[in-house]
C-alpha cells in the first residue's frame, strides 16, 4: 500500500511533534511512530528544559552558550550552540503559550532550578572568573518531558496532523541524494506500507539499548541511525555516549539530576560527599561525564556499597531535604525508588549507578535540521533530522542536563520551519526508487521461512554485556578490540536467527529481530569510532589515552557504510567562534 503526503515525520517524541506543529494544515503531514505518541521516550525526561530566563537570578544566553561549549569539552559547534542558547528563552515562552504547565514561583513566573554544569560568573564581565551554579532549568515538577509531550501532541491534533501509531519504519528511501519517503510495517496487521513524501524528517531517538544498564525505553534501538546509514548517509560522532550518573541500581531507570539540583548529595559507603574531591566548586552539580567517572572511581577504590547480586553502587542522599520538597518537586523519582527498590528516600539513601542515557552523535545536520550528505556540507534534498537521532552538533563530547529537551524544541521547530520553506519553494513529489520495500520484504520472508537457528534474545544479551564491559564509561584499546571482535561474531550469528511467531498480526518476535540487527550494526559503528579516537574527551574516556588531544582530535568523526565489517571514517572541523579550548575544570 502506498500513501502520499507533503511531509512525513518518523518519531513522535518532542522533536517530531514540535516539527509537526509547525506544518500548516494547508499541507498534508503524517507522523509515523513505533508506539503511541504519548508513549514516546521524551516522556521519560524528568528534570527540566533550560533557558536563560533569569526568573530567580541574573542569567544570560551568552553564559548558557559558554557552559554548553565547555560542557561539550569543546567539541560542540559553537555557531550552532549560540543559535540554540539565544533561541532558548523564546522557545520556552512559546511552549508556555501552547499550554505547557510549568511549575511556578510565588510571583507566577516559570520556576527554575539548578542543574549540572549550568553556571554564572561571579564577575559578569569576565567569563573566566569563578563560576557558581545558576537556576536555569525550567521544570514541571519532575515530569517535564511528560507534560511537554502532551502539550505538543494536543497542538498537533489541533493542527490536523495525521498519526500512524504502531508503524515500524524499516527503510529510508534516498536515491541520487534525493529523499522520496520511507517503508514501514503496520504492526497490527503485518502489512507493508510505502510512504511517499516531498520532505521526510527523522526524530527517531537514540540507541541506549545497546548497553545492559540504560535509562532508555525498549524502543531505543538505533533504527533511525541504521536506516540513514544503510541509505548511504554518514553518522557523526557516534563514539560519544553519555552515561547519566544516577540511574536506579540494577535497573538503570533515570533518577533525575533535578534531585541534585534540589540539594541531593552523592555519598559513598563511608558517608563521604565524594564529589568535593572531583569538582570542588560545583560538587554534585558537575557535568554528567565527570560525575559518572567519579562514581566508578569510588567503586573501583572500594568505597562503593556492595549489592546482593555482587554489583556495586553509591547513595543519592535526599534525607536532609524537607519532605515537602521531595514529595512535591520530585514525586516521580522518589516514587520509583519506593516502588522498584523498596527504599524510602526521606529516611534512606537511594542506591544509584551510572546508566547509558544519551548519544551525542547521530545523523549530521545543519542548524535548520537539513541532513548532510557528506562532511563538506552538501545536503540531502528533502531529508531532515532533529532530536537525539540528529547531530547538529550542540552537545559535542558531553551534553549538559536539560539541553536535550531544549535541543528538541529549538531544532524541531527550526526543522519544521525549514520544511515549510522547502515546500513553499515549489518542492515536487520525487519518484520512488524501484527497489522501495525490497529489503524489508526479503528480511521478513527470510526470518519467517527459517526453521532452525538461534533465538535473538541471547545475542542481544551478549551484545549488551560486552558493550557495558568494554565500551562503557572507561575504555581502552584492548577492551574495545575485544568488543569489536565479539560484535563481529554476533553479527555472523545474527544471520541465522530464528523466530517462533510466523504470523502477521502484532508479531513482536519479528520486530525485535529486526531491531536486534539495528542494535548490532549501530554498536559496530560506535565501537569502531571509539577505538579510532585515541584521546579522552567528554563521555569518551580512554584509559590508555587519558588526555584530551586538541592537536589531533579537535574534529568530528564521520562514518559511512562500506564493504566488509568496518565503516569508512573521515572527519569534519569543529566550528569555533568565541571560545578557544581550555582545560575543563569545575
Nearest to 392 by CA among 420, 418, 362: 362
Burial class (CB in 10 A: 0-12, 13-18, 19+), 27: middle
Show Cβ contacts of residue 192 under 8 Å, excluding neighbours closer than 6 positions: 1, 183, 184, 185, 186, 437, 440, 441, 444
Give me the count of residues in the chain.
586
State how far the Cα of 443 lies from the Cα of 433, in Å rounded to an integer.
18
Question: DSSP assignment of 115-129, as one string?
Answer: EEEEEEESSTT-TTS
State how far the Cα of 240 lies from the Cα of 399, in Å rounded to an integer.
10
Question: DSSP assignment of 436-501, as one string?
Answer: TTHHHHHHHHHHHH--SSB-HHHHHHHHHHHHHHHSSSEE-HHHHHHHHHHHHHHHHHHTTB--S-
Q: For residue 157, how many other CB atoms are within 10 A of its CB?
A: 12
Q: Using alpha carbons only, give the angle 433, 436, 439 rounded to the nearest 5 degrees.
A: 135
212, 260, 288, 370: the catalytic one is 288
Cβ atoms of residues 195 and 138 within 8 Å: no
Q: How many helices (H) and strands (E) does the chain have?
A: 16, 23
Cβ atoms of residues 17 and 153 within 8 Å: yes
Nearest to 542 by CA among 478, 467, 475, 482: 475
Q: What is the separation of C-alpha 555 from the centre of its chain, rounded to a whole number of angstroms?
A: 20
Question: DSSP assignment of 273-302, as one string?
Answer: -THHHH-TTTGGGS-HHHHHHHHHHHHHTT
The single residue listed with the C-alpha cell 527470510 is 446
Q: Judge whether 288 counts as a catalytic residue.
A: yes
Catalytically active residues are 288
Amino acid at each position: 500500500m502506498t500513501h502520499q503526503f507533503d511531509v512525513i515525520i518518523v518519531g513522535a517524541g518532542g522533536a517530531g511533534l514540535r516539527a509537526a506543529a509547525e506544518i500548516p494544515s494547508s499541507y498534508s503531514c503524517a507522523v509515523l511512530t513505533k508506539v503511541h505518541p504519548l508513549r514516546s521516550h521524551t516522556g521519560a525526561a524528568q528534570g527540566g528544559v533550560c533557558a536563560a530566563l533569569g526568573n530567580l537570578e541574573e542569567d544570560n544566553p551568552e553564559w548558557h552558550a559558554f557552559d554548553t561549549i565547555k560542557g561539550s569539552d569543546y567539541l560542540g559547534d559553537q555557531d550552532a550552540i549560540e543559535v540554540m542558547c539565544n533561541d532558548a528563552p523564546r522557545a520556552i515562552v512559546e511552549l508556555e503559550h501552547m499550554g505547557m504547565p510549568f511549575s511556578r514561583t510565588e510571583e507566577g513566573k516559570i520556576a527554575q532550578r539548578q542543574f549540572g554544569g549550568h553556571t554564572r560568573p561571579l564577575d559578569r564581565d569576565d567569563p573566566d572568573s569563578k563560576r557558581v551554579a545558576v537556576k536555569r532549568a525550567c521544570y514541571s515538577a519532575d515530569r517535564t518531558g511528560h507534560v511537554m509531550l502532551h502539550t505538543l501532541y494536543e497542538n498537533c491534533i489541533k493542527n490536523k496532523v495525521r498519526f500512524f501509531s504502531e508503524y515500524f519504519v524499516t527503510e529510508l528511501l534516498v536515491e541520487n541524494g534525493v529523499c522520496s519517503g520511507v517503508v514501514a510495517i503496520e504492526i497490527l496487521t503485518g502489512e507493508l506500507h510505502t510512504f511517499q513524501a516531498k520532505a521526510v524528517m527523522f526524530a527517531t531517538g537514540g540507541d541506549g539499548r545497546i548497553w545492559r544498564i540504560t535509562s532508555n525505553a525498549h524502543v531505543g534501538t538505533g533504527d533511525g541511525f541504521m536506516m540513514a546509514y544503510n541509505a548511504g548517509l554518514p553518522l557523526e560522532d557516534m563514539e560519544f555516549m553519555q552515561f547519566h550518573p544516577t540511574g536506579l541500581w540494577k535497573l538503570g531507570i533515570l533518577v533525575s539530576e533535578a534531585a541534585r539540583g534540589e540539594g541531593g548529595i552523592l555519598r559513598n559507603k563511608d558517608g563521604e560527599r565524594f564529589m568535593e574531591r572531583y569538582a570542588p566548586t560545583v560538587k554534585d552539580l558537575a557535568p554528567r561525564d565527570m560525575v559518572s567517572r567519579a562514581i566508578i572511581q569510588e567503586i573501583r577504590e572500594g568505597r562503593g556499597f556492595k549489592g546482593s547480586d555482587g554489583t556495586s553502587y553509591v547513595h543519592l542522599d535526599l534525607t536532609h531535604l524537607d519532605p515537602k520538597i521531595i514529595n512535591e518537586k520530585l514525586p516521580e523519582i522518589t516514587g520509583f525508588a519506593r516502588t522498584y527498590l523498596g527504599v524510602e528516600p526521606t529516611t534512606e539513601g537511594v542506591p544509584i549507578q551510572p546508566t547509558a542515557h544519551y548519544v551525542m552523535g547521530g545523523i549530521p545536520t545543519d542548524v535548520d535540521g537539513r541532513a548532510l550528505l557528506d562532511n563538506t556540507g552538501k545536503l540531502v534534498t528533502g531529508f531532515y533530522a532533529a532530536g537525539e537521532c540528529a547531530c547538529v552538533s550542540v552537545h559535542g563530547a558531553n551534553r549538559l542536563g536539560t539541553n536535550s529537551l531544549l535541543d528538541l524544541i529549538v531544532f524541531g521547530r527550526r526543522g519544521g520551519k525549514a520544511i515549510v520553506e522547502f515546500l513553499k519553494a515549489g518542492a515536487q513529489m520525487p519518484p520512488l526508487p524501484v527497489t522501495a520495500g525490497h529489503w524489508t520484504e526479503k528480511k521478513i520472508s527470510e526470518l519467517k521461512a527459517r526453521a532452525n537457528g538461534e533465538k535473538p534474545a541471547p545475542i542481544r544479551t551478549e551484545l549488551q554485556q560486552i558493550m557495558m564491559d568494554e565500551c562503557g564509561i572507561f575504555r581502552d584499546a584492548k577492551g574495545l578490540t575485544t568488543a569489536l571482535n565479539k560484535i563481529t561474531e554476533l553479527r555472523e550469528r545474527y544471520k541465522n536467527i530464528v523466530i517462533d511467531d510466523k504470523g502477521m498480526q502484532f508479531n513482536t518476535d519479528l520486530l525485535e529481530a529486526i531491531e536486534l540487527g539495528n542494535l548490532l550494526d549501530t554498536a559496530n559503528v560506535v565501537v569502531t569510532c571509539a577505538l579510532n579516537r585515541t584521546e579522552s574527551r567528554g563521555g569518551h574516556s580512554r584509559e590508555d589515552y587519558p588526555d584530551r588531544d586538541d592537536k589531533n582530535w579537535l574534529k568530528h568523526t564521520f562514518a559511512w557504510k562500506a564493504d566488509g565489517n568496518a565503516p569508512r571514517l573521515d572527519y569534519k572541523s569543529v566550528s569555533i567562534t568565541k571560545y578557544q579550548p581550555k582545560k575543563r575544570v569545575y
